[in-house]
Chain A
Amino acid sequence: MSSLALEKEVNLKVILEGSSTTENSRIDNSKLLSAFAEAIVGCDIGEIEDTRNALVAVMGIPAMIEAAGVASNFQRMVRIAESTGIPLGGLQEFSSDVRNELNLDKFLKQKTNL
């Protein structure tokens, strides 16, 4: 959404493929940011240190701290959504193109089939 509003096209594959993607995301420092987010979710202290240092070297400490804040925020948001079973509501229509491109509905189907 924000990318469309800013008339900047981004490659959404980086969201699924992360730091291992060979695609050009068109987002500055996307591989460094993805790698840091992956290490945080993986709770791997060594990986966190390596990716944090790499991010600091290129983007600086304040940007790294902001990335840590966002990543830890979404560690929370996913648990709220998943444990309360909220529907997509208006988000379904609003994000249908993105959801299709990223095949996000497979996660919903997996959950419904449990």
Chain B
Amino acid sequence: MQISYRNTHYDIPEKYDEAHSRFWQRLSKPGSWWNAEQRIDIAREVRNANSCTTCELVKKALSPNAVDTPHKSVSALDPLVVEVVHRITRDQNRLSKTWYESVLARGLSDAQYVEIVGTVAAMVSIDSFCLALALPANALPKPVSGEPTQYRPTTACESEAWVPLIPADENINAESDLWPKGKTGYVIQAMSLVPDEVRTLSDLSATHYLPMHAVGSPTAQGEFLDRQQIELVASRVSALNQCYY
């Protein structure tokens, strides 16, 4: 399914159509740990979280743990998966290692969790872009049948992060394309337990922000914004989200 922003109010560069279409195609297919129907349901729950009354209660509560009402669901996903999707979408700055460990204890695998993170993050980004430009949200794709690959990179291991990840200098063989060996940062490695999530991260970042190889270069610019303006917008969004990173 192709996404097109051609007949819209603004002359949006085609790079956005292309990158968003690539993610939509990925979304429509089985991933590493979820089948296509489940992946699209995760996307559906991202949108549903915005009107979830339990999410509102969680956000207003002094502690997110004080609310034990199930999240309102519009999918066939297990309530635990719905909780994970909604919390990452709506209350991400109050996620904790204790909560993550409770999610694993309740039956989700670390790799299933990482694939959810990648899907939620991409959906939030694409939907935010549409919201910003007064575009309707893109219709979700139709699922392609098939089973998840259950691919887990052999070099992924426990780390200082909550989730296992591939060490900076061990992205070998099938993962050699993820970053230049030894030259990366935790934010790139974060989802490397599911390598396709890193590939989507790189693809969307290159379109929306800067190519990964250019981020570290202080002279890298946007086409219409200078670097200070770009970093101002990025930092302001991070600060409003109360992000420690």
* Known pairs A76-B121, A78-B243; A34 contacts B236 (CB<8 A): yes
Count the A-B residue pairs with Cβ separation under 8 angstroms: how many? 252
CB distance from B9 to the nearest CB of A (A): 9
Q: Which residues of A contact B137 (CB under 8 A)?
A: none
Give the interface SS of chain A, mostly helix, strand, loop or mixed. Answer: helix
CB distance from A8 to the nearest CB of B (A): 7
CB distance from A16 to the nearest CB of B (A): 6
B132 close to A71 (CB less than 8 A): yes
Q: Which residues of B contact A86 (CB under 8 A)?
A: 160-161, 186-187, 189-190, 245
A40 close to B95 (CB less than 8 A): no
CB distance from A29 to the nearest CB of B (A): 7
B223 close to A62 (CB less than 8 A): yes
B207 close to A69 (CB less than 8 A): yes
* Known pairs A6-B218, A6-B227, A70-B234; A84 contacts B117 (CB<8 A): yes
* Known pairs A34-B232, A65-B12, A110-B242; A84 contacts B114 (CB<8 A): yes
A111 close to B94 (CB less than 8 A): yes
User: Interface code A69-99, partner B: CB below 8 Å = 1, 0 otherwise?
Assistant: 1111111111111111111111100000000
Q: Is B237 an interface residue (CB 8 A)?
A: yes
**What CA separation (Å) do A61 and B13 show in the bound complex?**
11
Q: Is B36 an interface residue (CB 8 A)?
A: no
Residues of A within 8 A of B (CB): 1-6, 8, 10, 14-16, 18, 25, 27-30, 33-34, 36-38, 40-43, 45, 48-49, 52, 59-91, 102, 104-105, 107-108, 110-112, 114
A84 close to B241 (CB less than 8 A): no
**Segment at the A interface, from B122-130, B150-158, B174-182:** B122-130
Residues of B within 8 A of A (CB): 10-13, 16, 50, 63-64, 88-89, 92-100, 114, 117-118, 120-122, 124-126, 128-129, 131-134, 160-163, 165, 185-187, 189-191, 201, 204-205, 207-209, 218-220, 222-245
Q: Which residues of B contact A75 (CB under 8 A)?
A: 124-125, 128, 237, 241
**What CA separation (Å) do A45 and B38 show in the bound complex?**
30
CB distance from B44 to the nearest CB of A (A): 17
**What CA separation (Å) do A74 and B185 show in the bound complex?**
16
Nearest to A68 among chain B residues (CB) is B132
Q: Please tell me which one of the listed residues A4, A62, A74 contacts residue B218 in the complex, with CB atoms under 8 A apart.
A: A4
